[in-house]
Amino acid sequence: MPIRVSVNELSALLKRCFEGLGYRSGDYADAATACIWMETHALNGLALLMDSWQSLVDGAALSPTIRTTTGANIAVDANRVSLLVCGQSLAELAISKLQDGGLNRIDVYACRNRIAIVPGIAAIAQRGYSALAHWRCKNFQYYAVASAGNAMPRIAKFTLTEPKQRAAETLHLICSRAAAEIESALRSLNDMERRVTPIVEPVSMLESFNNSIEHGLQVDNDIWMRLNSAADAVLVKATEQSRRGAGA
């Protein structure tokens, strides 16, 4: 039985939920923001959260580390942190190295939930930069791309003829002030002009977002209960003494 909740309500619950799982303040706020962004933009943020539940429970204390920085290129070891948690930080890192021209490239290793980079890509575009994220999974090359000022990224995949096993858990993020540079990078990625299948159309993302604001979101009751159960970990047992702490 689904339950209808508002965007604000789910957002607040997700923050408490990640906090209840042991995430630190910067992480739980970012993870909740990424999850709600995906859920309101037809990218099934809650399903991703449920699918990754155990690894998220286990990974609360982990943080990415920077392996190397060479000019505008940075290699990050995500240490198996989900991009739900660190996607926003990676987006900020991508912007940080931008100079007046050229590309900034971040190679992220050992990361989970790579589709969760999409809210970060959207955030980069909202700040007036353009970005491309791409990663490989099984036989497919996935990418998410957004131009400066365009709030809805394009997310798509195409079939690889020679899949590379080593690409698992790796993601590449490219950022630029110039949209043309990013479009050029995208063309290089698909230099064989293989047939592209959208994961979700930008127009559907926008429609989903507007609908979420207008009517709220439908959440499966089991998921709702699970989130609330995790969120309850931040609450303190009530006693007569604690009631005095509220002025009673």
Taking the least distance from each CB to other proteins, the nearer of 139 and 242 is 242
Least CB distance to other proteins at residue 19 (A): 8
List residues near other proteins by CB under 8 A.
3-9, 24-27, 29-30, 63-66, 69, 76, 86, 89-90, 92-93, 95-98, 127, 213-216, 232-239, 241-243, 245-248
Least CB distance to other proteins at residue 11 (A): 9
Taking the least distance from each CB to other proteins, the nearer of 131 and 156 is 131
Least CB distance to other proteins at residue 194 (A): 34
The pair of structure tokens assigned to 32 is 């909740």
The C-alpha atoms of residue 212 and residue 49 are separated, in whole angstroms, by: 18
Taking the least distance from each CB to other proteins, the nearer of 164 and 244 is 244
Least CB distance to other proteins at residue 199 (A): 25
Taking the least distance from each CB to other proteins, the nearer of 22 and 202 is 22
- DSSP per residue, 16-69: HHHHHTT--HHHHHHHHHHHHHHHHTTS-HHHHHHHTHHHHHHTTT---EEEEE
Q: Measure the CA angle with vertex 84, ends 184 and 153; round to 5°.
A: 30
Exposed/middle/buried for 187, CB within 10 Å: 0-12, 13-18, 19+? exposed
Least CB distance to other proteins at residue 93 (A): 4
Strands 73-77, 103-109: pairing is parallel
The pair of structure tokens assigned to 154 is 């394009």
- Burial string for 31-52 (b: 16+ CB within 10 Å, else e) reads bbbbbbbbbbbbbebbebbeeb
The pair of structure tokens assigned to 56 is 């998220």
Taking the least distance from each CB to other proteins, the nearer of 47 and 233 is 233
Least CB distance to other proteins at residue 99 (A): 10
Contact 185, 149 (CB under 8 A): no
Taking the least distance from each CB to other proteins, the nearer of 25 and 159 is 25
